Amino acid sequence: MAGRSVLVLGGGVGGVVAANELRRRLEPRDRVIVVEREARYLFQPSLGWLMVGRRRSEHISRPLHGLLATGVELVPAEVRAIDPVGRTVDTSAGALPFDALLVALGAELAPEALDGFAGAAHNIFSLAGASACARALAGFRGGRLVVAVSALPYKCPAAPYEAALLFDDELRRRGVRAASEIELYTPEPQPMPVAGPALGEAVVRLMEARGIRFHPRSPIARVEPGSRELVLADGTRAGYDLLAGVPPHRGPAALRGSGLANEAGWVTVDPRTLQTAFEGVYAVGDATSITLANGKPLPKAGVFAHAEALVAARRIVAASGVPAPSGEFDGKGFCWVETGGGAAAFADGNFYAAPDPVVALRGPGRLWHGGKVLFERYWLGGEPERRLARWGLLGAARVLGIQAEL
C-alpha cells in the first residue's frame, strides 16, 4: 500500500533536523524527500573562525547525504516554484508531488542589492567570502578594518559583533593591533536589539574594552571601491582598508508567486505550530517571519530552525495518524559570541516572553568556547565524535537549565 510523500525543501539545519525526525517517526512506506541544490552542508557558525584563519574551508563542511538518516531520499536540485494548492514543487529535476511539505529554504544572500558591496566587501556569510577575508587579513599590516552590516534583517544576529572581536584578537596575536583601527557600522540601534537593551549594552562594553568603535543607526547607502569608502545614508563617508560585510538578505526566489510569502518575501507561519495558511504546509528557520509580543521579528538563527523543525516534523507525523509527541515551539534559544583568545560569551533566554524577550548574556569564558567547539563537532564530526559531542552538549544544557534536543 503506497504511503505519503513528505517533501523537505532545503538541506540546512532546519531541513536536516526535520527530515531525520520525519524518517524516524513515519511509517516505512512513507517517503521523506529532501530537495537541496548544494552537495555539501556548510556549518555556518564556523565561518567566523574561517574568516580569521582558524579553520580551513574543507574543515567546516561535509557531504549532505552523510547527515541524513538512512531512508531519507536526497534530490540534488534547485527549487524553482511551489504550488501549495496543487500540492507540487517544481525543481530543476522535475515536478515533485507532495502530501505534506516543510519549507526550510533559508534566506538568500543578495550582495548585489547594495551598490558597490560585491566588488568591495568580503562577504563573511559565504564560504568564498570568508576564505578571501582570511587571505586578506593574513597580509594586513595595519590600517582601518571595517565591519559593515548592509541591511536588515540578516541571519545570526551576533555574527558581525563576533567578527569584530575575532579581528581584534587576531591582530593582537600578530602584533599589528596598535597600527590598526576596527570599526563597526550597522543600521541597528544596538547589537542584537531584539534581545533587549541589557544584552546590547553588554556587547558594546565588550567592544569598547577592545577599542572597537561602534556606529549604530548608520545605514549604508552604497560602497565606493575606488575611493575605499562607505557612503552612509546621511552622506557621511567612512574610509576603509579592509572591509568585511554582512550582505543584504532576501526571501527565497522559489517563494515568489506561491502564496506563501508576505510582501517582504518571508513566509508567515503560526508562531507555535509553524504551519502556513495552507493545510499540511509548514515552514521553519530563516525563510520565516514570526512577530514577537513587542512587535519585533524573531531573529533568524540556526537554534530556532532546529527547534522549529522538530515541532513541524512531529505535527506532520501526527497528521498522518502515527502517534508523535505533541508540542509547540516555545521561542527559547541560545547562541555563542566568540570573543577571541579561546573564549566566548553565551546568551540564552525566552524570545516569546511578554512584553519583551528575556535574554541573559554570560560573560566570556573558555567553557562557552568549548561548548561551541562541541556544537561544531556534533554537526561535522564522524559518528563517534557526534555521539560524544551530543552527550557533552546535553549534559551542559541540563546543568544550565536549558531545554535542548539534539
Q: How high is the mean pLDDT of the chain?
A: 93
Residues 324 and 353 placed together within one structural domain of the fold: no
Residues 223 and 269 placed together within one structural domain of the fold: no
**Can you give the pLDDT at residue 163?**
98
Given 230, 248, 266, the domain boundary residue is 248
**Can you give the pLDDT at residue 1?**
47
Residues 176 and 261 placed together within one structural domain of the fold: no
Q: Long-range contacts made by residues 173-181, C-beta under 8 angstroms, separation at least 24?
A: 176/140, 176/141, 176/142, 177/211, 179/141, 179/142, 179/143, 180/140, 180/142, 180/143, 180/144, 180/145, 181/143, 181/144, 181/145, 181/213
Section 199-206 average pLDDT? 95
β-pairing, 267-268 with 288-289? parallel
Confidence of residue 327 (pLDDT cuts 50, 70, 90): confident
Residues contacting 370, CB < 8 A, separation 6+: none
CATH code: domain of residue 234: 3.50.50.60
> Bigger pLDDT: 122 or 325?
122
> Bigger pLDDT: 115 or 326?
115
The backbone torsions φ and ψ at residue 102, rounded to the nearest 5 degrees and listed phi first, read: -125, 115
Query: CA 115 to CA 224: how far, in whole Å?
Result: 8
Torsion angle of C-alpha atoms 274, 277, 278, 281, degrees rounded to 10: -20
Residues 102 and 123 placed together within one structural domain of the fold: no
Residues 269 and 398 placed together within one structural domain of the fold: no
Residues 143 and 195 placed together within one structural domain of the fold: yes
**Can you give the pLDDT at residue 18?**
98
Section 387-400 average pLDDT? 59
Residues 22 and 127 placed together within one structural domain of the fold: no
Torsion angle of C-alpha atoms 199, 231, 127, 8, degrees rounded to 10: 70
- The 10s digit of each residue's pLDDT in 282-318 is 999 999 999 999 999 999 999 999 999 999 999 999 9
**Can you give the pLDDT at residue 256?**
93
- The 10s digit of each residue's pLDDT in 129-162 is 999 999 999 999 999 999 999 999 999 999 999 9
- The 10s digit of each residue's pLDDT in 1-33 is 468 999 999 999 999 999 999 999 999 999 999
Query: CA 107 to CA 37: how far, in whole Å?
Result: 14
Confidence of residue 405 (pLDDT cuts 50, 70, 90): low
**Can you give the pLDDT at residue 346?**
92
Q: Find how far residue 143's CA is from the centre of its chain.
A: 30
**What cell was used for 349?**
533566554
- The 10s digit of each residue's pLDDT in 230-283 is 999 999 999 999 999 999 999 999 999 999 999 999 999 999 999 999 999 999
Residues 114 and 238 placed together within one structural domain of the fold: yes
Residues 134 and 241 placed together within one structural domain of the fold: yes
Instruction: Determine the structural domain holding residue 299 and report its residue range.
Output: 5-107+251-329
Residues 128 and 234 placed together within one structural domain of the fold: yes
Considering the entire predicted model, what is its pTM?
0.94
Query: CA 262 to CA 389: how far, in whole Å?
Result: 38
Residue whose cell numbers read 563517534: 384
Residues 341 and 272 placed together within one structural domain of the fold: no
Given 277, 302, 329, the domain boundary residue is 329
Section 70-93 average pLDDT? 98
Residues 130 and 218 placed together within one structural domain of the fold: yes
Given 198, 229, 248, the domain boundary residue is 248
Q: Is the CA virtual torsion 90, 96, 99, 102 positive or negative?
A: negative
Section 188-196 average pLDDT? 95
**Can you give the pLDDT at residue 392?**
63
Number of separate domains in the chain: 3
Q: How many CB atoms lie within 10 A of CB 248?
A: 21
pLDDT for residue 80 is more than 90 = yes
